[in-house]
Amino acid sequence: MARFAANLTFLFTELPMLERFAAARRAGFDGVEVLFPYDLAAKDLAAACQAAGLEFVLLNTPPPNWSGGPRGFAATPGGEDRFRRDFDRSLRFAQALRSRHLHVMAGKAEGPTALRTLVDNLKWACERAPHASLLIEPINPHDMPGYFVSSCDIAAEVIDKVGAPNLGMQFDAYHAHLITGDLVTAWETHLPHIRHIQIAGAPGRHEPRVGDIDYGDFFRRVDSAGYRGWVSAEYVPLTTTEAGLRWLRGGAAA
């Protein structure tokens, strides 16, 4: 059975960040992720996570925070030095937080040169951090126009070209649904590459019980596939976080 984590960048935003850890635990989550935690000291984040009895599941590279700057440089030709400096900083954060995964954001780019750049940068990163679990994520073009990893097929191609055991796919069901229109086929096709799952209703990116995706069916397929990783809730609550958690307590169809 998969374990559920709360994305604290999206959930419990009624509270200051360091108070969201305990709130997530009280709500029934076993883990957390924070997209860009760099505005706070890693030791303070780690202490809040440990005090709440949670596992820190994932953070993104590069810094700085979500509110400004490009969404990564890993696929940007000529940006190799920037990528590598950012990666080292993010890796130090991930190690301090004992994070299960580190999501490497590709950024906006296109063409074969960008593909080679991304593959080369990821090969370097995988060798640099052989014991870290690194992820890349397909992100739909509507939400992030121009993002290089814009489909599960591109992500799978990159992972195969890198050929490192510590690189996998971050499979966001919301993005996969919007990209393909067929979440089940995307899941079944790319299961060998998938290391981490995120969920949200689609369209709208609200609670998993809102929208077109049948999460009851999806969760059954995840369980039957023997997936033992994390499923992270990364959505924008319709009202308050607490008011929208029936999906967690009673299933996606509740």
Give the Cβ contact number of residue 250 at 10 Å: 10
The residues pairing with 111 across neighbouring beta strands, listed in sequence order, are: none
Helices of type H across 145-197: 152-162, 173-180, 183-190
State whether residue 102 is helix, strand or coil: strand
- 33 given a catalytic annotation: no
Tell me, what amino acid is at 239? T
**Tokens coding 35:** 């997209």
Catalytic residue among 127, 137, 157, 242, which?
137
- Per the annotation, the verdict on 110 as an active-site residue is no
Q: Which helix (H) or strand (E) segment is 26 a member of?
A: helix 17-27
| Helix, strand, coil percent values for the chain (each to nearest 5) | 40, 15, 40
Pairing state of beta strands 194-199 and 55-61? unpaired
8 A C-beta contact, residue 235 and residue 174: yes
Neighbours of 252 (CB within 10 A): 20
Radius of gyration of the chain (CA): 17
* Both structure tokens of 125: 């990163």
Residues labelled as active-site residues: 137, 234
